[in-house]
Each structure stands twice: as C-alpha cells, then as structure tokens.
Amino acid sequence: MPCFLSASTLVVMPFLMEIDAIVFDFDGLILDTETPDYESWRELYAEFGVALPLDVWHRNIGATGLFNPYVYLEEVLERPLNRKAVHDRRKRRDNELLAAQTILPGVEDVLAEARRLGLKIGLASSSDHAWVDGFLDRLGLTNWFEAVRCRDDVDGRSKPHPAVYQSALNALGVQAGRALALEDSPNGVQAAKAAGMYCAAVPNVMTQSLDFSLADVRVASLAERPLAQLIDEVLNGRK
C-alpha cells in the first residue's frame, strides 16, 4: 500500500529513528485537573477569609506531598480544622469543576500521529491509578496507551523523583535516551530529565509563569505543531 507523507514529515523522518516512544504526563497535560483543584481550594480558603497565593500552590503542581493545603490553612488560622468536613466540601466543588473539563487541545492529534509514526505510547503520572485510569476510561483514551504508570506502581514516589518515568520506560521496553516526555510542570520536567529522557514542556494556565529551562523545548499547546516537527526541534536543541 502506498504511503503518502507531507513534505514536512519527509524532512523530519530521519530524526524519528532516534525516538522510539512518547510518554505523556496526565494532570494538566491531557486533562486540566489542576485549575479545578486550585480553584476549589482557593474558594474554600476565601470562605475562611484567607488567601491562597498561586506561588504557594505552585510547589505541589506535578507532584504530591510537597504542599499540604490543610496544614497551611491551619497555620494561617492558628487553629485546627475539621479536616473531614473541609475535605468533603472542597471535593464537591472540585468535582463540579472537573465535570466541565475536556481533553486538552492537541492531545488526540499527538496520540494519533505517534501511532502513525510507529512510536510506543506511555503515560507516567504522580497521581494514583484510581484517579488516572478512571479519567482515561471516561475520556475514551485508555486504549491509546501501551503502559500507564502511576505513583502507586513505584511505592508512592512522585515527581520530581524519576521513578514513575523509569517504570514506564521499563514497561515499554525503551531506553531513556530514545524517549520523549510531554510535561506541563517543572516537577515533571525535572523527573523526566532525571530519568535521562528528552522532554517537551507544554505549560497550562496554572504553570505558564514557571521556570521550564530544563526542558528541551517549550510549546504553548500540543496543538501548536505536528508531533514530528516537535521531535525534530527537541533533537536539534531548538528552544
């Protein structure tokens, strides 16, 4: 069967021989779960008359355990809280905001192009399987991924630790230096680079002001350019 490739694809195809796999982050990269998370906490803090600065919240984006919103609120208020009541109220609002979220622009196009190019496709997340798998199923994306690795696969170690990326690479059977990670947070970029991978930063509205200097390339959205072009830029060191 004839294979018809665009001129731009023909130009970058030699570089694709250096990449065997693409590994997605989940939160903030495939689905914007980060804005609802922050907004639901910000609204709850406001009910107590307290601000939740974005620069404080940034500590935990792409990771877990680096910032505890219950502890921070109790410290500011100088009193303990009924954490169960706070959790339930905040979670109801988070779920309302999450229900309105859809797959982020360009994700499905990148998945389809990766498959056309014969790349293995994985996912590495600091969230747990119950969270990630549930959303992948709801969004109809589960079958795109040959390997999905979460923090509960690596003894709870989340990014910026590289363990979850290392686990995904092992599951895919791919060497780190032949894989490209897609990340929306500096913690994620740090994890991918520590694992020895190439990394493209795709900041979202919550992370666009952060430092992505460790990334090999930065794009505003996965819809910004074809995957083949992105790989070409990564391999040629164009930031």
CA 29 from centroid of its chain's CA atoms: 4
- Give residue 3's pLDDT: 40
Give the active site residue among 25, 37, 184, 232.
25
Strands of the 198-201 sheet, one edge to the other: 147-149, 120-124, 21-24, 179-183, 198-201, 217-218
Closest-CA residue to 99 (of 40, 57, 15, 44): 40
- Give residue 59's pLDDT: 76
The rounded distance, in Å, linking the Cα atoms of 8 and 169 is 28
- Give residue 106's pLDDT: 98
Q: Is 27 helix (H, G, I), strand (E, B) or coil?
A: strand
- Give residue 13's pLDDT: 54
What residue ranges of the chain have pLDDT lower than 50?
Answer: 1-12
- Give residue 7's pLDDT: 42
Active site (annotated) includes residue 216: no
- Give residue 17's pLDDT: 66
The rounded distance, in Å, linking the Cα atoms of 154 and 114 is 26
Active site (annotated) includes residue 25: yes
- Give residue 1's pLDDT: 36
Give the active site residue among 27, 32, 184, 232.
27
Asked if 58 contacts 237 with a C-beta cutoff of 8 angstroms, the reply is: no
- Give residue 238's pLDDT: 56
- Give residue 237's pLDDT: 78
- Give residue 16's pLDDT: 57
- Give residue 230's pLDDT: 96
- Give residue 11's pLDDT: 46
